[in-house]
Amino acid sequence: MDSRPIGVFDSGIGGLTVVKEIMEQLPNESIVYFGDTARVPYGSKSKETITKFSFQCINFLLEKKVKAIVVACNTASAASLDAIMQSYDIPIVGVVEPGAIAACQVTKSNKIGIIGTESTVSSGAYEKEINVINNDVKMVLKACPLFVPIAEEGWQDTEIAKLTARKYLEELKDKNIDALVMACTHYPLLENTIGEIMGANIKLVNPAYETAKVLTTVLHDLKIQSKSNKNSNYEFYVSDNPVKFKKVGENFLKRPIAYVQKIEIEKY
Ligand code: DGL
């Protein structure tokens, strides 16, 4: 038994979709979340910059005495997970591998769609991960950057979301894919809209959900689960604008956020 918290970080608010899944699947665990709201988006930045930011996020979380780290950001996982894994001696779970495994499990046609930020799409991380699991799988990738501000505005179920989703996704519909990975923290909020456009025959894969499942196994295998939820505690830190984070974050988390503290991430 280990009651130390899980550290979770993201480029901003989106990682709360992963936190939501961890809270549901692992209610005994405490969580320290860091959202890099001063430097979001990561999705348009270079691998070097994203890697430097990821190291700083982890250094901050380590100061909070976390027992494991979840890289909730698809962009950060895609760009920097290899470098991170080589540098830290703590269990680290990214979102790309869990999403890739789930997509390979659900596809029957061996044709998978992947939607994410520009950086995730151009990183090749999902192709690499999926082809390690099944070399016969073919992929179609598409960046859908406008889904991020739509989710942050809380417009996920509006006509604007539908029109945007149609514009991005229509071309994926005649590519014979039967699974679509929502490879960005924000996209699960648009799950209904994306599902409506893609139709019932295309299974949507949510890496946030899959990551919480993998985290459960990691904690269990290492025997570092927390046994009791009596003291489970959630702390939220950001690098800018805690008031906005609290307001928008409650839409992502579907529960109230008590308090958000601003920290100086450049120090780490
Ligand atoms: N969190 C990012 C991701 O999952 C989306 C927002 C950003 O570009 O930083 O890829």
DSSP state, residue 255: S
> Ligand 1 within 6 A of 53 CB?
no
User: Are 135 and 222 in the same domain?
Assistant: no
Structural domain span for residue 67: 6-94+209-267
Separation between Cα atoms, residue 131 and residue 139, nearest integer Å: 10
Question: Residue 200 falls within a domain, yes or no?
Answer: yes
Question: The domain that contains 150 carries what CATH number?
Answer: 3.40.50.1860
Tell which phi-psi region holds residue 241, choosing left (phi > 0), alpha (psi between -120 and 50) or beta.
left
Note whether 119 and 146 are within 8 A (CB): no
pLDDT at 229: 65
Half-sphere exposure of 229 (CA within 13 A, CB side): 8
pLDDT class of 55 with cuts at 50, 70, 90: very high
Q: Quick check: CB of 206 below 6 Å from ligand 1?
A: no
Token code pair at residue 168: 């991005």
Is 120 near ligand 1, meaning CB less than 6 Å away? yes
Residues 183 and 255 in one domain: no
| Paired residues of 178 in beta bridges | none
Residue where one domain finishes, among candidates 183, 207, 231: 207
Ligand 1 atom index nearest CA of 14: 1
The answer as to whether 47 is a domain residue is yes
Whole-number average pLDDT of the chain: 96
- Do 185 and 216 have their domain in common? no
Q: Is 7 in the pocket of ligand 1 (CB under 6 A)?
A: no
* Nearest protein CA to atom 6 of ligand 1, as residue: 41
CA of 117 to the centre of ligand 1 (A): 6
Amino acid occupying residue 62: L
- Measured by CA distance, the residue closest to atom 2 of ligand 1 is 73
Residues with catalytic roles: 73, 184
Ligand 1 atom at minimal distance to the Cα of residue 72: 4
Q: Ligand 1 test: best mutation among 36, 123, 185, 239, most atoms within 8 Å of CB?
A: 185
Residues 200 and 125 in one domain: yes
Please indicate, yes or no, whether residues 107 and 183 belong to a single structural domain of this protein.
yes
231 CB burial (10 A radius; 0-12, 13-18, 19+):
exposed
Based on the fold, state whether residues 170 and 142 are members of the same structural domain: yes
- Looking at the structure of the chain, the number of domains it has is 2
42 Cβ closer than 6 Å to some ligand 1 atom: yes
pLDDT for residue 208:
98
Q: Are 87 and 143 contained in the same domain?
A: no
Q: Which CA distances in Å does 86 have to 22, 166, 208?
A: 25, 40, 23
Do 187 and 146 reside in the same domain of the chain?
yes
Residue from 36, 73, 190 to probe ligand 1 pocket by mutation (most atoms less than 8 Å from CB): 73
Residue 199 placed within a domain: yes
Measured CA distances, 74 to 23, 57, 195, 237, 241 (Å): 19, 15, 20, 19, 22
Distance CA 16, CA 88 (A): 23
Question: Do 180 and 252 share a domain, yes or no?
Answer: no
| CB 108, CB 125: distance < 8 Å | no
Please report which confidence band the pLDDT of residue 231 belongs to, taking 50, 70 and 90 as the band edges.
confident
For residues 181 and 124, state if they share a domain: yes
Give residue-wise pLDDT tens across range 78-130.
999 999 999 999 999 999 999 999 999 999 999 999 999 999 999 999 999 99
pLDDT at residue 230 is higher than 90? no
Q: How sure is the predictor about 228, in pLDDT bands with cuts at 50, 70 and 90?
A: confident
Domain boundary among 207, 223, 246: 207
How far is residue 265's CA from residue 251's CA, in Å, rounded to a whole number? 25
Distance (Å, whole) CA 24 – CA 34: 19
Residue 154 sits in the same domain as residue 101? yes
Q: Is 86 in the same domain as 214?
A: yes
Residue whose CA is at the smallest distance from ligand 1 atom 8: 43
Has residue 191 been placed in a domain?
Answer: yes
CA dist 15 and 156 (Å) reads 16
How does residue 232 score in pLDDT terms, banded at 50, 70 and 90? Answer: confident
Report yes or no on 1 lying in a domain.
no
Closest C-alpha to ligand 1, atom 7: 41
Helix (H) and strand (E) counts in the chain = 11, 10
